[in-house]
Chains A and B, each alone.
Chain A
Amino acid sequence: MDQFLEFFIENAGIIAALPLWTFLIIIFGQNLGVYDNKKITVWLTCASTFIGFLWALFIFLWTLGAEEPFTKNIAWINAGNIQLSFGWLLDNLAAVMLLVVTSVSLLIQIYSHGYMNKDEGYHRFFSYLNLFNFSMLGLVLSSNLFQIYIFWELVGLSSYLLIGFWYRRPSAAHAATKAFIINRIGDCGLLIGIISFLFFSLNWWAASGDVYLSFTSLQPAAEYVLTSAGPIVYFLIATAIFLGPMAKSAQFPLHTWLPDAMEGPTPISALIHAATMVAAGVFLIARAYPVFEASSCVMTTIAWIGGITAFITATIALTQYDLKKTLAYSTCSQLGFMVMAMGAGAFAAGLFHLVTHAYFKAMLFLCSGTVIHGLNDQQDMRFMGGLRKHMPVVAYTYLIGCLAISGILLSGFWSKEEIFSGLYAGNNVSLLSLGLIVAFMTAFYMFRTYFLTFEGQYKGHTHPHNSPKVMTVPLILLAIPSALLGIMLSGKFFLPSFDKYIIAGKESFIHLEHNENLLLPVISILIALSGVLTAAFFFWDGFKEKRESVKITADNVIKSAKPIYALTTNLWYIDKFYYAFIDKVFLPICNFISRFDKYIIDGLVNLTATKIRFEGWVLRQFQTGQIQTYLAIMFAGLIGLVLIFVLLQLLLI
């Protein structure tokens, strides 16, 4: 059995290679016109992901018995005193992420077959999907910071391609550009951070003999950097590295790209912009945890950025009318939760929320996709309502998702409760109260979308049509982990514990003891329930008479709190500020500097080019095409060389 598992460990790179091969097969098969059958594409894709899933399952089994992480590295570039390698690192964290990515991917690929079936870019869509899978799995398997950066860029690329999938729509093209540029800010910071980290620890790596920037020995390296660079520089380096996760996981103030990214096809929103890629930022924080952990200032910064993101985006989600945008802001908010947990030292809790969130948020997005598909691309909730009668499966799975994300007994409850108790144990009262407020808002806006979409009277124009099985079956399959995963891994009632599994072998990490009081869970449930009730009061038809009798309707509340409403509907003016900054400050400076480029640099270049062309012209005069000239040149050259060097030799000796 051990040898059997060894095989999977030794060849873990195959998991990432399979989607790459599929990508190449589809893209060349299509462009060279080898085949044109959608079945081939979808079966290849699903088969490669399914094999990856099984493979990940075996790796997971192996980690249960393993004591040491497994690494395998191949030397890649030897440039002077820098040696870069790539390979794979398999530990508990990687195994969990592999399982999440492959399982969610598989279900979403099946769903996409239904969703994209009528689209003319069907094959292109699947080739991008495979490219993304390759990059994401490569990112998860990466054994060192440099390699993770390469795959980090690759997921960014596939995200860009998929957001702009319908590139003929200007809004999609703009959203793709925006996502790309904002991610570039973060990636730039990440690269600067990695390079400066490497710069300060170069001697350490050379002495240690380990693979450069390897995750397994990041902790002593971080300590070395801290002592050699000093705390202030170290803070800057760690913050620069954190810029990467900040952009990728859509944290304030770089969160603005994620809601716009919903211009892409809905399966992409579910897979990339909810379940996996945006969680890559949290994954990187977990991977490079020793780097952040070494400085408490960095940890505090991370925690507060997470908290602020959770709060701001939750307030924006309260007033959105676009179904997908609401879900997008909710994703930002939940990612804020994870980042906050990471920063507060509740390492395992943050990852636990990542896992549970991946399933229920993917499911919520797929539900919204089914609704939008059924209503012929209608996304505005004001034109929905009463859809429970038309598409019951979608409504009930959506309800499960809402309960899960709001933290009412289903999986979201258990992971959120762990975050809260982590914050409580770390005495972060201010962050804890912020978290509870956000939890209230989460329950409110999620059930607001539920009531507006599935309850009441249908307010749209087109007739809602039901979706094919290929789209509803993945929903049902995703509903199971969304409901049960939390309690199954909670560590309570003699069930296995996610915490113990993920912390295993990392005793050095801050480990917050859970105090087993019932107060916190009860409070969080009560808060969530009050959020649901508030939403029901405003938006459920059952309370219609009551709210009209006390004259507190949604419109009235909006009227009485106009400035706040304006703030949230205008997305806290963050986007507007960015555009104004670019128009009023950035572009004028650019224009000014470009003059220097135009007149001085270009002038120099043109001058040099003219000179070189002239020299070329002079030389060409000797290339007459006559063999006599050639031989004369040759003899002249030879005699010249002889004269020069014989003279030189006489002088030297």
Chain B
Amino acid sequence: MELLNDIKNVFLPEFIITLFALLALILSFSLKKEHQNLIFFTSVAGVIFALYSLMLMGVSIEQQGFYESFVSNNFTAAFRVIILIGTGFTLFLSKDYIASFGKSIGEFYFLLLTATLGGMILCGANDLVAVFIGLETLSISSFALCGYTKSDILSNEAALKYLIFGAVASAIMLYGFSFLYGITGETNFTFIASFIQNYNFNSLLMIAFLMILAGFGFKISAVPFQAWTPDVYQGAPIPVAAYLSVVSKTAGFAALIRFVDIIFVESTLFAITLGVIAVITMTVGNLMALDQQNIRRLLAYSSIAHAGYILLGLAIMTNDGITAIIFYLITYLFMNFGVWAGIELFALATGKDNIDDLNGLAYKHRYFAFGLVICILSLAGIPITAGFFSKFYLFKAVISAGYEYTPLLVIALINTVVAIFYYMRVIKAIYVMPDEEVRSADIFRISFPVRLVMLISVVGALILGIFASPFIEKAKTVNISGIETILP
């Protein structure tokens, strides 16, 4: 009975995703090849049901389940919504992309739903073991997804690199966990936090923190755990790359924020650590992106840079910062999926993914080019797009956090300027460069689901930019009932 109650109170969306993942698996070996499309609809239905159940579940008060190892509240609900919407987008992106490879469609959806399950567990995990289980579920499914296109050498290489890197990161993290367990004798976040409050600070705790950071840093691709990102984004199937850059990252951030805000909130030293990692991450991401020729690698570095900005919101350790992060992740969901959908449309039509290949695109497909440019401008943070307001709000939170954060802010602002340079290169290719090689591929006839994702993303990026205030207010309420009790 208690198990059922726990599922009902805190675990309902995850449970639904589990059921549908299993259903997808069963369908994948029982259906004929012509009917495999049904699995796509099953998965979409699963995501929709999970979203719906999240609405049914009362999330306004914090509830715990499974011997307090899993919590559900407003904060985790916000992240779970982002993850589920991101998964929905990924499903739409994959439908035609995966079908074009011909074989074994079903397992892809199964793996995707499993990864989502891992991400959602990561959001609500309130126990070191639960964190590890969530992380591994997400990681192992992602490894398989990366290598899904078996005949593609790049895809194989990506999967292997991701696997090795992920295994090492997990091992380091586990080592950190064992330190933490050794110090406190507890695995539950709440107990650890109350133990640490009365604990005399020492280097052991710092080492444990840094090692645990390696695991999260790997998921959100923060420096120096970022090296896998460009290779994997370039090699993995495009929907998987989009999934890694948004959903997997969101899950990593959810766990990291809860972990830091509950356990390590006391000392300024952790804040400094996070701040330093944040500025290094954004600087490295932006500098490396400057001369990239491949748009997928460019996006990989851009996603590293964005992880840096988001970490900045965590480093200031205020409620405003958390609100800014949530809003940032919502906008990031739309603008990044918009760009990835654009890249996929282009790749499906032409099979190319270099920036030069986009030359003169605007004169061929002006709506497509326009949508792509809106999303890129949003990533760069140009006004009236969502990206501007999320950056604006984040930097405002940094200013109001105190004068000691001003150096971080200055570096972040310089980075924003540098970033405009490489985003503009893409826009320049689309609008200004002459169209030397004629590409007659007709993008408008390709893949309705991908175009739909693109449309939703562009509309989202514009609406969030023009009417930012209501969403920010919403993000504020999330934060207050979520973890305000823990933050000072």
Q: Which residues of A contact B (CB under 8 A)?
A: 31-32, 75-80, 609, 612-613, 615-617, 619-620, 622-623, 625, 627, 629-631, 633-634, 636-638, 640-642, 645-646, 648-650, 652-653
B273 partner, pick from A32, A634, A636, A645, beta carbons under 8 A: A645
| Chain A residues near B367 (CB-CB < 8 A) | 31-32
The distance in angstroms between the C-alpha atoms of A79 and B469, with both chains bound, is 9
CB distance from A211 to the nearest CB of B (A): 13
B418 partner, pick from A612, A627, A646, A652, beta carbons under 8 A: A612
Query: Cβ of A649 and Cβ of B467 under 8 Å apart?
Result: no
The distance in angstroms between the C-alpha atoms of A649 and B205, with both chains bound, is 11
A630 partner, pick from B172, B210, B228, beta carbons under 8 A: B228
The distance in angstroms between the C-alpha atoms of A615 and B225, with both chains bound, is 20
B288 is an interface residue with CB less than 8 A from chain A? yes
| Chain A residues near B288 (CB-CB < 8 A) | 616, 619-620, 623
A612 partner, pick from B231, B273, B287, beta carbons under 8 A: B287
Query: Cβ of B211 and Cβ of A634 under 8 Å apart?
Result: no
Query: Cβ of B287 and Cβ of A634 under 8 Å apart?
Result: no
Query: Cβ of B468 and Cβ of A77 under 8 Å apart?
Result: yes
New A-B contacts (8) at CB < 8 Å, excluding given A616-B287, A638-B214? A616-B290, A625-B231, A627-B164, A629-B227, A631-B168, A634-B165, A649-B201, A653-B201
B210 partner, pick from A79, A629, A641, A653, beta carbons under 8 A: A641
Residue from A619, A637, A641 whose CB has the most chain B CB atoms within 10 Å: A641
Query: Which parts of B432-482 form the interface with A (CB within 8 Å)?
Result: 467-470, 472
| Chain A residues near B169 (CB-CB < 8 A) | 634
Query: Which parts of B276-298 form the interface with A (CB within 8 Å)?
Result: 277, 284, 287-291
Query: CB-nearest residue of chain A relative to B168?
Result: A631
Q: A627-B164, A638-B210, A649-B201 known; A633 and B227 CB under 8 Å?
A: yes
| Chain A residues near B472 (CB-CB < 8 A) | 78
B351 is an interface residue with CB less than 8 A from chain A? no
SS class, residues of chain A in contact with chain B = helix
CB distance from B170 to the nearest CB of A (A): 13
Query: CB-nearest residue of chain A relative to B392?
Result: A79
Query: Cβ of A642 and Cβ of B421 under 8 Å apart?
Result: no
| Chain B residues near A638 (CB-CB < 8 A) | 172, 210-211, 214, 224
B207 is an interface residue with CB less than 8 A from chain A? yes
| Chain A residues near B289 (CB-CB < 8 A) | 616
| Chain B residues near A627 (CB-CB < 8 A) | 160-161, 164-165
Query: Cβ of A634 and Cβ of B168 under 8 Å apart?
Result: yes
CB distance from A80 to the nearest CB of B (A): 7
| Chain A residues near B429 (CB-CB < 8 A) | none
Query: Which parts of B156-191 form the interface with A (CB within 8 Å)?
Result: 160-161, 164-165, 168-169, 172
| Chain A residues near B228 (CB-CB < 8 A) | 630
B269 partner, pick from A609, A622, A629, A649, beta carbons under 8 A: A649
CB distance from B410 to the nearest CB of A (A): 15
B224 partner, pick from A617, A636, A650, beta carbons under 8 A: A636
Query: CB-nearest residue of chain A relative to B204?
Result: A646
B348 is an interface residue with CB less than 8 A from chain A? no
Query: Which parts of B225-256 form the interface with A (CB within 8 Å)?
Result: 225, 227-228, 230-231
A645 partner, pick from B201, B210, B223, B225, beta carbons under 8 A: B210
The distance in angstroms between the C-alpha atoms of A620 and B292, with both chains bound, is 10
| Chain A residues near B284 (CB-CB < 8 A) | 619
* Closest 9 A/B residue pairs (Cβ): A637-B224, A630-B227, A616-B287, A616-B290, A646-B203, A627-B161, A642-B210, A619-B288, A615-B287
Query: CB-nearest residue of chain A relative to B172?
Result: A638
B206 is an interface residue with CB less than 8 A from chain A? yes
Residue from B210, B284, B470 whose CB has the most chain A CB atoms within 10 Å: B210
The distance in angstroms between the C-alpha atoms of A316 and B225, with both chains bound, is 75
B103 is an interface residue with CB less than 8 A from chain A? no
The distance in angstroms between the C-alpha atoms of A622 and B229, with both chains bound, is 13
B396 is an interface residue with CB less than 8 A from chain A? yes
Query: Cβ of A645 and Cβ of B227 under 8 Å apart?
Result: no
Query: Cβ of A649 and Cβ of B203 under 8 Å apart?
Result: yes
Query: CB-nearest residue of chain A relative to B287?
Result: A616
| Chain A residues near B392 (CB-CB < 8 A) | 79
CB distance from A61 to the nearest CB of B (A): 32
Q: Which residues of B contact A (CB under 8 A)?
A: 160-161, 164-165, 168-169, 172, 201, 203, 206-207, 210-211, 214, 223-225, 227-228, 230-231, 269, 272-273, 277, 284, 287-291, 367, 392, 396, 418, 421, 467-470, 472
A646 partner, pick from B164, B168, B207, B225, beta carbons under 8 A: B207
CB distance from B435 to the nearest CB of A (A): 20
Q: List 5 A-B contacts (CB under 8 A).
A: A619-B288, A627-B164, A630-B165, A641-B210, A648-B272
Query: CB-nearest residue of chain A relative to B200?
Result: A653
Query: Cβ of B224 and Cβ of A642 under 8 Å apart?
Result: no
Query: Cβ of B467 and Cβ of A631 under 8 Å apart?
Result: no
| Chain A residues near B290 (CB-CB < 8 A) | 612-613, 616
Q: A613-B290, A616-B288, A619-B287 known; A634 and B225 CB under 8 Å?
A: yes
CB distance from B160 to the nearest CB of A (A): 8
The distance in angstroms between the C-alpha atoms of A638 and B272, with both chains bound, is 15
B396 partner, pick from A31, A76, A80, A641, beta carbons under 8 A: A80
Query: Cβ of B227 and Cβ of A623 under 8 Å apart?
Result: yes
B230 partner, pick from A617, A623, A631, A636, beta carbons under 8 A: A623
CB distance from A639 to the nearest CB of B (A): 9
The distance in angstroms between the C-alpha atoms of A615 and B291, with both chains bound, is 11
The distance in angstroms between the C-alpha atoms of A634 and B222, with both chains bound, is 11
CB distance from A404 to the nearest CB of B (A): 43
Query: Cβ of A646 and Cβ of B206 under 8 Å apart?
Result: yes
Query: CB-nearest residue of chain B relative to A28?
Result: B367
| Chain B residues near A79 (CB-CB < 8 A) | 392, 396
The distance in angstroms between the C-alpha atoms of A627 and B269, with both chains bound, is 32
CB distance from B474 to the nearest CB of A (A): 13
CB distance from A636 to the nearest CB of B (A): 7
CB distance from B202 to the nearest CB of A (A): 8
The distance in angstroms between the C-alpha atoms of A499 and B174, with both chains bound, is 82
The distance in angstroms between the C-alpha atoms of A347 and B359, with both chains bound, is 58
Query: Cβ of A76 and Cβ of B223 under 8 Å apart?
Result: no
The distance in angstroms between the C-alpha atoms of A622 and B287, with both chains bound, is 13
The distance in angstroms between the C-alpha atoms of A622 and B164, with both chains bound, is 18
CB distance from B301 to the nearest CB of A (A): 10
| Chain A residues near B277 (CB-CB < 8 A) | 641
| Chain A residues near B273 (CB-CB < 8 A) | 641, 645
| Chain A residues near B223 (CB-CB < 8 A) | 637
Query: CB-nearest residue of chain A relative to B290?
Result: A616
The distance in angstroms between the C-alpha atoms of A650 and B202, with both chains bound, is 8
| Chain B residues near A616 (CB-CB < 8 A) | 287-291
| Chain A residues near B168 (CB-CB < 8 A) | 631, 634
The distance in angstroms between the C-alpha atoms of A178 and B126, with both chains bound, is 65
Query: Cβ of A77 and Cβ of B287 under 8 Å apart?
Result: no
Query: Cβ of B210 and Cβ of A631 under 8 Å apart?
Result: no
CB distance from B278 to the nearest CB of A (A): 13
CB distance from B380 to the nearest CB of A (A): 16
CB distance from A302 to the nearest CB of B (A): 34
CB distance from B302 to the nearest CB of A (A): 13
Query: Cβ of B227 and Cβ of A634 under 8 Å apart?
Result: yes
Query: CB-nearest residue of chain A relative to B209?
Result: A645
A634 partner, pick from B201, B224, B396, B421, beta carbons under 8 A: B224
Q: A612-B287, A619-B288, A646-B206 known; A75 and B469 CB under 8 Å?
A: yes
CB distance from A542 to the nearest CB of B (A): 61
| Chain B residues near A77 (CB-CB < 8 A) | 468-469
CB distance from A243 to the nearest CB of B (A): 25
| Chain B residues near A76 (CB-CB < 8 A) | 467, 469
Query: Cβ of B224 and Cβ of A645 under 8 Å apart?
Result: no
